[in-house]
Amino acid sequence: MKKLESLSEEQIQKMNEVKNYWLDYIFSCKNQTNREQAKVQIEWLYKFCKKDSPIIIFVDSPMSCQFAVQYLKILFKKLPQVGDQVGAQVGDQVGDQVRAQVWAQVGAQVWDQVRAQVWAQVGDQVWDQVGDQVGAQVRAQVWDQVRAQVGDQVGAQVGDQYESFCSYGSISDYGWVSFHDFFMQIGVTNHSGFKEFKSLLQSGIYDTIQLNGFCIVSNMPDNIKRNGRGRLHNENGSAIHFRDGYELYYWNGLCVPKSWIMDKDSITKDTIVSESNAEKRRCLREIIGAKKYYDLITDGHGLDLLDEDTDKQGNLMRLYQTKKPDSLLNKKVQFIECVCPSTMRVYNIYPPRQKSKNVWEAKADTFGKTQKEFNPVFES
C-alpha cells in the first residue's frame, strides 16, 4: 500500500476538528464521569491486563482519590498498584501497535505534521499546563490534607504516603490518543484495543488510581480558567475547581496561595520578603502592581519618576526606578507603567538592561532594540 505523503484540505480540517474535540472535552467543563460507561471500560482495562475486575470508587477530585486510598489503607494493609502491568499492556499492546500501524501507512512528513498540530498541542495544553500542574499540588498537599480529613491519630497510622496515579487512563493520555484518533477517523488505522481505550477516556475520567481489587476514579473539573497562553490563571478566583470543592489558585501558570488572589489587601512586606521563590515574588508584584509592591518592600521610600510621555494613541507612559535596591535582586529596579490600548488596563513592563534614561529607550529595550530602531506606528 502506498504511504500517505500529504494531507488533503479535508484531512487538515478533520485534523483540527479532532484536536479541538479533545481540547474542548476538558476545557469546556461540560463533561463529567459517565459512571456506567466508565465501569464497563475499567473492567475491560483490568481484563485486558489479566486482572480481576475491581471495585470502582467514584470521587469528584484527584485529592479525593488520595483520601479514598488512605481510608482503604486503614481497612486493608496491602493495596499494591497494578500500574506497571497496566502500563506494559496498554503501552505494548495498544500504543506500540497502533503507532506501528500509522507509521507503516503514512510518510514522515505527515507524521510530523499531525504530531506537531495535534499530539503536541493537545498534550501541552491538557497535561503539561493542567494535569501535571494539578498533580504536583495534590502530591504536595497530601499529608496536610489527610491530617485535616482523618485526624492526626489515623493520619499517623496511614503515614505520609502519596499514592501514584495511573500510567494509562487519565487526561495525560489525551496527546497520543488524539494523534491516533485522527488517523483512525481518516481510515489509516483500525485497532480494537485503541477504540476501547479511547472509550475509557470518553467516559469522562480525569484521573485514576489503579489498585489490585480497587480502582479510584476522579471526576472532571467543573471550572477551568486560563490565560491567553493556555496556562492556568484567574485574577479573581480559583483557576481550577472540582465538584467536591477542591480548587487551586494560579497566576499565569504558577500555583499561589488563595489569599494572594482573594484577599490582595492582606499582602504585606512580610508576605513579600518571606517568599524566597523569585517567580512567586514576580507574581506578587503583578498581583498588587509594581507601585504598591516597591512601596512595601522599600518601607515607603517608594519610587523615582525618571521620565514620562504618551504613546502613539495618547496613553500615558511613565518610567520609574526604585529608590532602594530590591532585596532579592540586590539592585534598583526600573519599570514602565503603560496602558494596554485594547483593554485600557494599566500594566508594567521591565526593560531587560535596566539602564534606560527615558520611556522610549526603556520600551525599545523590551523588544531588543535601541531607541533609534524602535518606531511603532500603532500599538495594540
pTM above 0.95, yes or no: no
Which distant-in-sequence residues (6+ apart) come within 8 Å of 238 by Cβ? 223, 225, 247, 248, 249, 258, 261
C-beta pairs of 194-198 under 8 Å, 24+ apart in sequence: 194/94, 194/98, 196/41, 196/44, 196/45, 196/48, 197/41, 197/45, 197/90, 197/94, 197/168, 197/173
Amino acid (1-letter code) at residue 321 = Q
Place of cell 471526576: 219
Yes or no: say if 362 and 317 are a contact pair by the CB < 8 Å rule.
no
Structure confidence at residue 377 (pLDDT): 56
Q: What is the pLDDT of residues 55-76, one digit of tens each?
A: 999 999 999 999 898 888 878 7
Task: Record the cell numbers describing residue 221, joined without a space.
Answer: 473539573
- Asked if residues 11 and 171 have their Cβ atoms less than 8 Å apart, the reply is no
The reported pLDDT for the residue numbered 327 is 67
DSSP category for residue 51: -
Contact between residue 272 and residue 296 where contact means Cβ atoms under 8 Å apart: yes
- Rounded CA gap, 290 and 298, in Å? 12
Q: Distance between CA 316 and CA 61 in Å, rounded?
A: 46
Q: Kindly state the cell numbers that stand for 267.
A: 499582602
- DSSP code for 246: -
What is the tens place of the pLDDT at every residue in 184-199? 999 999 999 999 999 9
Low-confidence stretches of the chain (pLDDT beneath 50): none
The Cβ of residue 151 has, within 10 Å, a number of other Cβ atoms equal to 11
Give yes or no for a contact between 320 and 297, defined as CB atoms under 8 angstroms apart. no
DSSP code at position 49: T
Residue extents of the structural domains in the chain: 9-222, 265-366
User: Three cell numbers at 83?
Assistant: 500500574
